[in-house]
């Protein structure tokens, strides 16, 4: 991998210190997604930080599914997440499921009850919320807080054995209802949910809460540094409480880094799921989705994503990254890798009237002028060709140097042609134009007698391969991104739908060079003047390729 080491950062300093002092012998990290959706570009940062930091110090990283909320989880996600982590180029040490530890979690909860550190509460979820207090005022104790250990044990067993309905009771930690940290005000640690679990089936009808389960999972696996995004910072005291009070032999420590937010990019699984469920997009891997699978289908490479993440760094600040910076890295990665060929997206037929009808010729062309190792290819030319509709104007504005009646341009890699006649249909639309070519002007012949101002690309009509091109714009209109990470309200969840860009997909039909007829999904090209394209894995068929435009060629973005 190109970037095996992380830039200097605060977590790295902690690790270095911990190894030096002998506090830990080997670094063990984990990437702990909840399998309730596909991974997105934000997760790439968490993945990258956990895997590269451990690897850098000779340690290891587990992939652990945090599957403690069966209502939202699915094996489809378990599968896609593994595929995406591998594709990004990371190898986990062990594949684990939080649900593998349900027995141990249950036993640790029993331990808390026995120590008088947890109690069964009959208050409803609403009542618990109402008595929790606010940032300014303390909460109040539940009337059930002083139940005896025996009664708590019996009720907890009853919960486990299915004696109560969903929501009837919860197990709460007994800490301090007046703590300035709301997370320490007797947080719920187990809830009743008669729900089938993708891993444990119907074995359990009670499930641990994330905040209780997570530290236990880390401790069980011997995680040394539990790295997560900043929204978990306030949970750290409870994390430490759980590890200590549950008497876990291994003591992991949590460190937080800033979330990655990219301009015009949603990085919330809930929102992305809504886009999928309401069919605003064509599935989780729609090329407009900021999911890893969407970016892959669009044409991003793992290298581009890793280099982008590397450059955005690890910091505690959660600024919004310029979308152009993300795009910069895919251009950089493909610049020398992708063959540079011609494609005509909105074709206009050109007949070269002085070129013999039975003649054709082949031009030898470099595949990538910046990378001679990519060799050459043959491009055919004959009497009829296609050019872009945009490259011809019957009445040109000032400074239009492409084709118009009486004007001469260079055909890329071929000859100068001059427009003599415009053929229109009954409604006055231009259907074809007639040109003449000058045999003296063949590309590479050293012809200098006169110059032209415009160079346009083209495809030989007799051998053109029809293709579809899908041009994208960001799914979300400018100035919207997921900077706000605390939007939990249902209504806020819906309002972002107003920000969906109605023009995010444009489909056009055109032609590619005959040498490209056998392209397969994930083949990538730079089309002259149009940008970088990737063969789509869903809609492309043999003989009729469909291309996704990954990114256009131009950018005003400059790396600092």
Candidates 259, 273, 349, 412; catalytic one: 259
Q: Is position 62 an interface residue for ligand ATP (rule: CB under 6 A)?
A: no
Q: What is the largest CA-CA distance in the chain?
A: 102
252 binds ligand ATP (CB under 6 A): no
Query: Between residues 63 and 112, which has the closer beta carbon with respect to ligand ATP?
Result: 63
70 touches ligand ATP (CB under 6 A): no
In 397-503, where do the E strands start and end? Answer: 408-411, 416-424, 430-438, 455-456, 459-460, 465-472
Numbered residues of the known binding site for L-glutamine: 66, 210
290 binds ligand ATP (CB under 6 A): no
Instruction: Give the burial string for 198-208 (b: 16+ CB within 10 Å, else e).
Output: bbbeeebbbbb
Q: Is 523 in the site for ligand ATP (CB under 6 A)?
A: no
228 vs 465, beta carbon nearer ligand ATP: 228
Q: Count the Cβ atoms, other than its own, within 10 Å of residue 376.
A: 11
129 labelled catalytic:
no
269 is known as an active-site residue: yes
What is the three-state SS of 75-144? HHHHHHHHHHHHHCCCCCCCEEEHHHHHHHHHHHHHHHHHCCCEEEECCCHHHHHHCCCCCCCCCCCCCC
Looking at the Cβ atoms of 35 and 510, the one nearer to ligand ATP is 35
Residues 40-59 that bind ligand ATP (CB under 6 A): 42-43, 45-46
CB of 244 to ligand ATP, least distance (A): 22
Is 269 a binder of ligand ATP (CB under 6 A)?
A: yes
CA atoms within 13 A on the CB side of 383: 7
Residue 270 is a binding residue for ligand ATP (CB under 6 A)? yes
Query: Which residue has its beta carbon closest to ligand ATP?
Result: 42
**Distance, C-alpha 350 to centroid of its chain:** 42
> Of 101, 32, 35, 43, which Cα lies nearest the Cα of 74?
35
Contacts with 8 (C-beta within 8 Å, 6 or more apart), sequence order: none
Is residue 229 close enough to count as binding ligand ATP by CB under 6 A? Answer: yes
Q: Binding site for ATP: residue ranges?
A: 34-36, 259-260
Q: Cα separation of 33 and 47, whole Å? A: 10
- Catalytic annotation on 259? yes
Number of residues near ligand ATP (by CB under 6 A): 16
Per CB under 6 A, which of residues 17..36 are in contact with ligand ATP?
Answer: 32-34, 36
Q: Give yes or no for residue 225 binding ligand ATP (CB under 6 A).
A: no
Q: Is 198 in the site for ligand ATP (CB under 6 A)?
A: no
Of 75 and 552, nearer to ligand ATP (C-beta) is 75
- Interface residues with ligand ATP (CB under 6 A) are 32-34, 36, 42-43, 45-46, 228-229, 259-260, 267-270
Q: Which are the catalytic amino acids?
A: 34, 259, 269
């Amino acid at each position: 991998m190109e970037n095996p080491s992380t830039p200097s950062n605060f977590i790295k300093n902690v690790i270095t210190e911990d190894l030096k002092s002998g506090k830990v012998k080997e670094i063990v990290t984990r990437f702990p997604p909840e399998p309730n959706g596909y991974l997105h570009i934000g997760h790439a940062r968490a993945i990258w930080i956990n895997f590269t930091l451990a690897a850098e110090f000779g340690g290891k990283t587990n992939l652990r599914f945090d599957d403690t909320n069966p209502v939202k989880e699915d094996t489809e996600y378990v599968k896609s997440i593994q595929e995406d982590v591998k594709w990004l180029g990371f190898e986990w040490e062990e594949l684990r499921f939080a649900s593998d530890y349900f027995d141990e979690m249950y036993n640790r909860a029993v331990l808390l009850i026995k120590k008088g550190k947890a109690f069964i509460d009959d208050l409803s979820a609403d009542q618990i919320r109402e008595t929790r207090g606010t940032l300014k005022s303390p909460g109040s104790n539940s009337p059930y807080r002083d139940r005896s250990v025996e009664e708590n044990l019996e009720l907890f067993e009853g919960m486990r054995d299915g004696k109560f309905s969903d929501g009837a009771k919860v197990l709460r930690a007994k800490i301090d209802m007046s703590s300035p940290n709301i997370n320490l005000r007797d947080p719920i640690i187990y809830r009743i949910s008669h729900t089938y679990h993708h891993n444990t089936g119907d074995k359990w009808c009670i499930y641990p809460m994330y905040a209780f389960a997570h530290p236990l999972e880390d401790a069980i696996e011997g995680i040394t540094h539990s790295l997560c995004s900043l929204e978990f910072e306030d949970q750290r005291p409870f994390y430490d409480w759980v590890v200590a009070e549950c008497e876990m032999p291994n003591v992991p420590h949590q460190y937080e880094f800033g979330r990655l937010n990219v301009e015009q990019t949603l990085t919330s699984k809930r929102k992305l799921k809504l886009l999928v469920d309401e069919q605003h997009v064509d599935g989780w891997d729609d090329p407009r989705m900021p999911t890893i699978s969407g970016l892959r289908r669009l044409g991003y490479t793992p290298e581009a994503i890793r280099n982008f993440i590397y450059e955005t760094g690890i910091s505690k600040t959660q600024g919004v990254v310029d979308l152009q910076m993300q795009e910069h890295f895919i251009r950089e990665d493909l610049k020398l890798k992708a063959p540079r060929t011609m494609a005509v997206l909105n074709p206009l037929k050109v007949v070269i009237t002085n070129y013999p009808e039975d003649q054709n010729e082949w031009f030898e062309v470099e595949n990538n002028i910046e990378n001679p190792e990519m060799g050459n290819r043959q491009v055919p030319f004959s009497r009829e060709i296609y050019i872009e509709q945009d490259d011809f104007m019957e009445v040109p504005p000032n400074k239009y140097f492409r084709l118009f009646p009486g004007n001469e341009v260079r055909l890329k890699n071929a000859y100068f042609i001059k427009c003599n006649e415009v053929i229109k249909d009954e409604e006055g639309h231009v259907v074809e134009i007639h040109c003449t070519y000058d045999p003296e002007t063949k590309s590479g012949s050293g012809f200098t007698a006169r110059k032209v101002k415009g160079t346009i690309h083209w495809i030989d009509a007799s051998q053109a391969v029809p293709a579809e091109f899908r041009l994208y714009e960001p799914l979300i209109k400018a100035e919207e991104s997921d900077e706000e990470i605390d939007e939990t309200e249902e209504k806020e969840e819906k309002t972002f739908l107003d920000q969906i860009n109605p023009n995010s997909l444009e489909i056009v039909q055109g032609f590619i060079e005959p040498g490209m007829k056998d392209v397969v999904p994930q083949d990538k090209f730079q089309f002259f003047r149009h940008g970088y394209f990737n063969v789509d894995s869903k809609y492309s068929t043999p003989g009729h390729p469909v291309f996704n435009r990954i990114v256009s060629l131009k950018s005003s973005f400059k790396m600092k």
